[in-house]
Amino acid sequence: MPIQPTENIWRNGSLIPWEQANIHVMSHVVHYGSSVFEGIRCYGQPSGAAIFRLPEHMQRLIDSAKIYRMALPYSLDELCAAVVETVEANGIAPCYIRPIAMRGYGEIGINPSKCPVDVFIANFPWGKYVAAEHGGADVCISSWNRLAPNTMPALAKAGANYMNSQLIRMEADVNGYAEGIALDVNGLVSEGSGENVFVVRSGVLYTPPLANSALSGITRDSVLTIARHLGLPVVEQSIPREMLYIADEVFFTGTAAEVSPIRSIDRIVIGDGTTGPVSQQIADEFFGIANGLKPDRFGWLTPVKVTASEAVTV
């Protein structure tokens, strides 16, 4: 989906015009992929707009940077305030928010220790991420595995890690699928190119543990919280590939994907090929909270000052 430019981008403590948010071609990040980033959604609500789980997202940005020995010059509170400032300055809601910290221009070579760390925050309209028709997306098992343990840290949301994701997504696209699901180095279900995976079988909700090279998804955690609140049995365990084929329901979760049902995997129809009751129940609760139609019972929303007249529909 093409990026729709907005007016401002936050860079290192100040708002600057969108078109001035540039980096040098010799910046470390361009050559070595040395960045960490987040994806956050801001939802339009009857009373205005609110950012979904802002502190948790920005804490994960800090954690990702720590794993990669990238010292961020801002605290959690400062980063959260910067996100709110950016959204309010652009007056766009609902929207997608992209904070990113990167190694900038300084020295060439693998060791980034002498390169400055630059932090940017942008926001822009963005709609549905996973294409789905007639009750869910048609996806495949990728021939590309997820990162093996002790190669690159799967818990870090780092730009370099997403080269693996690009291969998974491009392979799925060229073969006519909406998305790919990757297995880990042991052949167990890991995650999609940018989504966590959930499986429903016999009324039980399953998802792979983080040890299967899965990202610690904020939406994943939200769904686990919602499921437990609804009294649904939840199990985090390793999932063999074939369990996907015989599941009653399968769905993706993620900031971009939100809660997205899967209709088929490798041309095998999941259940009856429609959105299942558990998936629907969880989606209704998730979107109800996000869109302000149900109580914010878990304290997930950060209000922003974007009026209804400024809000845009994506």
121 and 144 in a single domain? The answer is: no
- The CATH number of the domain holding residue 20 is 3.30.470.10
- Are 152 and 256 in a shared domain? yes
Q: Where are the alpha helices (DSSP H) in 49-200?
A: 54-67, 76-90, 162-174
Is residue 51 a contact partner of residue 87, using CB atoms and an 8 Å limit?
yes
For residue 311, is it within any domain? no
Closest listed residue to residue 274, CA positions, set 131, 139, 135: 135
Active site residue 157: yes
Asked whether residue 103 falls in the same domain as residue 192, the answer is no
The CATH number of whichever domain residue 219 belongs to comes to 3.20.10.10
The Cα 183–Cα 188 span in angstroms is 5
**Set 114, 128, 157, 294: catalytic member:** 157
Q: Are residues 117 and 148 located together in one domain of the fold?
A: no
Taking the C-alpha atoms of residue 288 and residue 45, their distance in angstroms, rounded to an integer, is 10
Torsion of CA 293, 298, 302, 308, to 10 degrees: 0
Q: pLDDT tens, position by position, for the chain (314 residues)?
A: 789 999 999 999 999 999 999 999 999 999 999 999 999 999 999 989 999 999 999 999 999 999 999 999 999 999 999 999 999 999 999 999 999 999 999 999 999 999 999 999 999 998 776 666 667 999 999 999 999 999 999 999 999 999 999 999 999 999 999 999 999 999 999 999 999 999 999 999 999 999 999 999 999 999 999 999 999 999 999 999 999 999 999 999 999 999 999 999 999 999 999 999 999 999 999 999 999 999 999 999 999 998 644 545 44
Domain that holds residue 221: 137-275
- Give CA separation, 276 vs 30, 256, 269, in Å: 43, 21, 12
For residues 112 and 144, membership in a common domain is answered with: no
* Residue 313 maps to a domain: no
Please answer whether residues 137 and 260 qualify as being in contact, where contact means their C-beta atoms are separated by less than 8 angstroms: yes
Same domain, 116 and 170: no
The pTM of this model reads 0.94
The number of domains in the chain is 2
Does any domain span residue 288? Answer: no
